[in-house]
Amino acid sequence: MREIADLPAVNAWNEWDPLREMVVGSAAGAAFEPAEPGNRPQIRGRAGEPFPAGPKPAEAVARAEEELDGLAALLETQGVTVRRPEALDFSRPLRTPHFEVENQYCAVCPRDVMITLGNEIIEATMSRRARYFEYEPYRKLVYEYWEADSRVSWTVAPKPTMADGMYRRDFWEWPLQERHARMHASEFCITQKEIVFDAADMSRMGRDILVQESMTTNRAGIRWLKRTLEPKGFRVHPVHFPLDYFPSHIDCTFVPLRPGLILTNPDRPLRDDELPMFVNDGWKLIEAPEPVLSNDEMPDYCQSSKWLSMNVLSLSPDKVICEEQEKPLQDLLSSLGFEVLTVPFRNVFEYGGSLHCATWDIRRDGVREDYFPSVSYQPVG
């Protein structure tokens, strides 16, 4: 791949342009996620048992670190510059004027916190108390990029209080019938009172940014993104997947792979009225195959679904990294013309993500393009 000369230090307009520089997360200092109004962690298959608290065992951290290092090494063989977050002790408790948690979480998934939109870095508000300060492991890097190139800008979204009133506390107790009845209202564990979003609910497609309304991103958060990004020439599109009763982060649900092609989750179809945007401009939606692991077979402390299988990382429009054991997906992607690289990553799953979640792209070749010429919506500004 020929590198584009004079690319800004921070430059990524979509999920697939040729990758040049990336942050890979780290499990160092990780702790178990605590129960809080925005999260009810459960041991898989043992719902009544108390979820552990405090630091993760050293062996679990070492296993995850080995796989994260393996991803970093693979990226380097592909000519990608890899950076890592600062190691912090996430087992420390946190107390603000509005809440307390017994410990924090980890820096395995930078994708949840940080997003590059063109030449701008945005730090998300976050939605859970234990993740309030999760931008900290990345701050030194952000300063470095910001100092290195005057074309780089940096925006920090307003921090919500995360006080009790920000949450719908009975959400976790809703019976399935009520969940089904409320699914079209898109009401989840966060209320609409404050601006809330995790960066991983966004997907970048040039001029157009998709934002999933979810347990981790509310309508106020989407309004903030619209008002912040649309005057800069983006168009922000809320998207919904009504059959996902616990939506959190779009990258196991709707994964753009290259111009014209999106990998979709067969259990979580896009809302009917949101489909025309893709169909009208000839995008093909292709369903991911059944993951190799069932939900019951996911690691004991993993709170994510089996669909981490489709959390792939694009190196370019024709090269993608998949989890080593996800053979059916690897075969599908090969049949679509992708060169598929693989890496073991199962030990990272209990930290909430796979290959896309555990990374944050800083620089990809390319400029902002309009992949949806039929979209007539013109943002103000």
Task: Establish whether 109 is a catalytic residue.
Answer: no
- Please report how close the Cβ of residue 11 comes to ligand ABU at its closest, in angstroms: 25
Spell 80-107 as b/e; 16+ CB within 10 A means b: bebbbbeebebbeebeeeebebbbbbbb
Q: Tokens 């059944």 correspond to what residue?
A: 290
Q: Tokens 């996800």 correspond to what residue?
A: 326
Q: Which residues make Cβ contacts (< 8 Å) with residue 301, sequence separation at least 6?
A: 32, 41, 43, 44, 51, 52, 350
- Please report how close the Cβ of residue 179 comes to ligand ABU at its closest, in angstroms: 16
Q: In what order do the strands lie in the sheet with 359-364?
A: 81-83, 19-24, 359-364
29 touches ligand ABU (CB under 6 A):
no
DSSP bridge pairs for 319:
316, 339
Q: Which residues make Cβ contacts (< 8 Å) with residue 293, sequence separation at least 6?
A: 306, 309, 325
Task: Establish whether 357 is a catalytic residue.
Answer: yes
352 touches ligand ABU (CB under 6 A):
yes
**Closer CB to ligand ABU, residue 84 or residue 131?**
131
**Closer CB to ligand ABU, residue 305 or residue 359?**
305
Burial class (CB in 10 A: 0-12, 13-18, 19+), 337: exposed
Task: Establish whether 201 is a catalytic residue.
Answer: no
353 touches ligand ABU (CB under 6 A):
yes
Q: Which of residues 67-96 bind ligand ABU (CB under 6 A)?
A: none
Given the residues 208, 356, 357, 361, select the one marked as catalytic.
357
Given the residues 17, 106, 112, 198, select the one marked as catalytic.
198
State how far the Cα of 321 lies from the Cα of 67, in Å rounded to an integer: 13
Copy the structure tokens of residue 39. 């999260």
Given the residues 249, 302, 322, 356, select the one marked as catalytic.
249
25 touches ligand ABU (CB under 6 A):
no
249 touches ligand ABU (CB under 6 A):
yes
**Closer CB to ligand ABU, residue 11 or residue 216?**
216
Which stretch in 67-75, 84-92, 136-144, 247-255 sits in contact with ligand ABU by CB under 6 A?
247-255
305 touches ligand ABU (CB under 6 A):
yes
Which stretch in 48-56, 178-186, 244-252, 254-262 sits in contact with ligand ABU by CB under 6 A?
244-252
Q: Which residues make Cβ contacts (< 8 Å) with residue 179, sequence separation at least 6?
A: 245
**Closer CB to ligand ABU, residue 203 or residue 304?**
304
Burial class (CB in 10 A: 0-12, 13-18, 19+), 128: buried
**Closer CB to ligand ABU, residue 353 or residue 366?**
353
Q: Which letter does DSSP use for residue 261 in this model?
A: E
**Closer CB to ligand ABU, residue 7 or residue 215?**
215
State how far the Cα of 319 lies from the Cα of 78, in Å rounded to an integer: 10
Copy the structure tokens of residue 47. 């719902």
Considering only residues 138, 278, 307, 372, which one is a binding residue for ligand ABU as defined by CB under 6 A?
307
313 touches ligand ABU (CB under 6 A):
no
Residues binding ligand ABU (CB under 6 A): 248-249, 252, 304-305, 307, 352-353, 357
Catalytic residue numbers read 198, 249, 357
